[in-house]
Structure 1
């Protein structure tokens, strides 16, 4: 294992559930760091204690103080200190703080290394049973339903699996909005990944929402993976396909060109799509 260079920023991925998922190299970097910049120092200390690291120096680095903290961290690295950056769980910067210090370190000409490891978005995708060849990480959807629906409308024609993080108090609202805006797509809801009570619910978004509603009090850290747009098994087009067709027709494109473009985005028979293009063009 190579020694970390002086004045280096180590972006260290930490476990998303099971503390034993911390890699040997990640533990080495945390032990050798002159300072650990942690999203929550209490969570970081709990992990370090699990691994017998009692004397680490930590400083908080989270959304509301990262702009203020960044110059000091860069100054420490310029002076030769080794800084390790960790989030509460998973890979830093993925819907977590860190972008500012990484950008500032690059500007200062400092060395940066990634200590790869867990990421909830990727872990959920791999167990979802949905296509993994193309995916888009969407983070947390907006809290307000109108803004959430506007985002989903923008994502409706994206030819990729969609990955969201969401809290237990808003997950049903998100699923219901998806059913209406995206159509009743297949999805996988992963909860408490790598923990002893890990669960993955798979099926149409409406069925997952209904099952959650029966639970009463919903708990767990959640990652939702949603399938890309497809034609319905019956040959009928989904709301996302119809939306794409209407937008292209509104641009004045001929029906055959609309068919070709929609076929590039959605799985389905050219004949079925062309028939739907003609139907919507007559409206």
Structure 2
């Protein structure tokens, strides 16, 4: 019989959050694959677990390293996979291993536990039913503008991860599009300096402070149609003129305007081109 692949959630901060089942699996599996072996070894040592085999498997691991683990599973060995913290595969590596294991007919077993996404939602007061998790936003370029537009076009609650040094910029960009949307910044969840900061995106973006530690941003549900109805053509044209004066590209302006106004990107692009031609004539 082949072995089983266990996907094991570990604490995101407070070590007391580890489950009894996770400890049992980690202690019993002959192989543990970890995103960061040093961090995982420290966790295992804290709980008195001496792994028989602890090996690295991270986002940049090659096919040969994944195949080695699948071979071990096929030969009958159980394997536990953990990431740095929290639930694997949620903006963390592990997907390639799971896909390879399922393709080989290996049983994959989730061992649920701590999750920064769910912890932030629990305390935000902004769940409102369905929610959408988008992970980390792209850092720049059209990919970032499109991702921001997707956030603004989502009426359900949205959960984002963000690096502390980019949190202020992201808040300003989101506030530019949907200033009155309710939001919560969940920082350093389950850790000593855990903090929940709530307000509208406009209020959060105006805070003059440094964001430190692990950051999860929860945006409350909002009415996309109501936002589109509240913005008239004059306000759109004013923004277009300012952006053109600053030398921005037409497509970039249109993407940002679509996110802000709730109107179709094609309509905004046509309006930008028309304004550009009028200003140049």
* TM-score in terms of structure 1 length: 0.78
| CA deviations over 1:168-199 (Å, ceiling 9, x no partner) | 11001111110112333111000111112110
Q: Indicate which of 203, 219, 230 corresponds to 2:223.
A: 230
How far residue 143 of structure 1 moved from its aligned partner, in angstroms, is: 1.0
Q: Indicate which of 75, 87, 110 corresponds to 1:79.
A: 75
Unaligned segments of structure 1, at least 5 residues: 251-283
Look up the match of 1:93: 89
* C-alpha contact 2:175 2:205 (8 A) present in aligned 1: no
* C-alpha contact 2:6 2:79 (8 A) present in aligned 1: yes
| CA deviations over 1:248-272 (Å, ceiling 9, x no partner) | 996xxxxxxxxxxxxxxxxxxxxxx
- Rounded to whole Å, the distance in 2 between the matches of 1:108 and 1:54 is 29
Q: Indicate which of 26, 30, 34 corresponds to 2:30.
A: 34
- Rounded to whole Å, the distance in 2 between the matches of 1:30 and 1:162 is 33
- Rounded to whole Å, the distance in 2 between the matches of 1:248 and 1:235 is 12
* C-alpha contact 1:153 1:182 (8 A) present in aligned 2: no
Residue 63 (str. 1) matches residue 80 (str. 2): no
Q: Indicate which of 156, 161, 171 corresponds to 1:175.
A: 171
What is the aligned length?
242
Q: Indicate which of 203, 213, 221 corresponds to 1:220.
A: 213
CA RMSD of aligned residues (A): 2.6
Q: Indicate which of 2, 8, 18 corresponds to 1:22.
A: 18
* C-alpha contact 2:128 2:221 (8 A) present in aligned 1: no
- Rounded to whole Å, the distance in 2 between the matches of 1:125 and 1:145 is 29
- Rounded to whole Å, the distance in 1 between the matches of 2:29 and 2:196 is 36
